[in-house]
Structure 1
Amino acid sequence: MKNELALKQRIAELEKLLAQKDAQIAALEERWRLAQQKQFGKSAEGFVGQGELFNEVEEIVEAAEAEQQSISYTRKKPVRKPLPKDLPREQVIHDIEDKTCDCCGGELHKMGEDKSEKLEFIPAQIKVIEHIRPKYACRHCDKSS
């Protein structure tokens, strides 16, 4: 009986020691996983105060969102700064020679024009060349359609 009691105590001690060793193994495995994650996983790569360095990107995005126009969908309006008005300008007009309608022979009227500007750099001289393309439509065909 005394021997049995000593064996039971020894078994209890060994089970307690085994539980401690299991806890140590679990802690070491967790440390190993964290080290693997730190070395090979995604990293935050952040420093204290780093968030304030890049606020200007958010400001640009907010300004860009304000410049959207709404039709039946949203699109960003092109934002190109106009060329300065004080630069010398040269106009090139791309016009058609025959201003008669192909289908009815009626006279075409000017209904608008497209303009585009191109900055041309000539050494020691800068000028703006405006390309003007008149648009024509036939009033007779417009009425009959």
Structure 2
Amino acid sequence: MALDPATLPDDVDALKRLVVGLTREAVHASTLIEKLRGELARLKRARFGTSSEKLGPRLKQLELAIEALEVDEAERLAGTPVVAEAREAARSRPARRDLPAHLPRESVVHAGPCACPACGGSLRRIGEDVTESLDYVPGRF
């Protein structure tokens, strides 16, 4: 369900009711998806039993239903506006910290060719990859 900002009501209570309705729809859709996944898993386990011939069409129908629900949910989520707090929460994820400065470092530079092997023209650096890795060295005397 795509929401057009121009058609949204200006009343706070109406907006709250709209959010509650969308939340209920999302919970219902995710519950239905989980229920169908559980049933699909149960039927897949039963597929290799004695009456597996009867389960083939039902399994395919369940897989199609789950796929359709997932597509609908993705479209619905793509149509809803992104809240600023959600963007801030995504940006504030903890990042990997630099290694402490007191640790010894070893620099390895892989030199490339000075000239193009095909035409003999000069080459220039277009980028650089820097990697720091921590190696464990067992205790020593």
TM-score (norm 1): 0.31
TM-score, structure 2 normalization? 0.31
Of structures 1 and 2, the one with the larger relative CO (CA 8 A, separation 6+) is 2
Bigger Rg over Cα: 1
Q: Which has the higher strand share?
A: 1
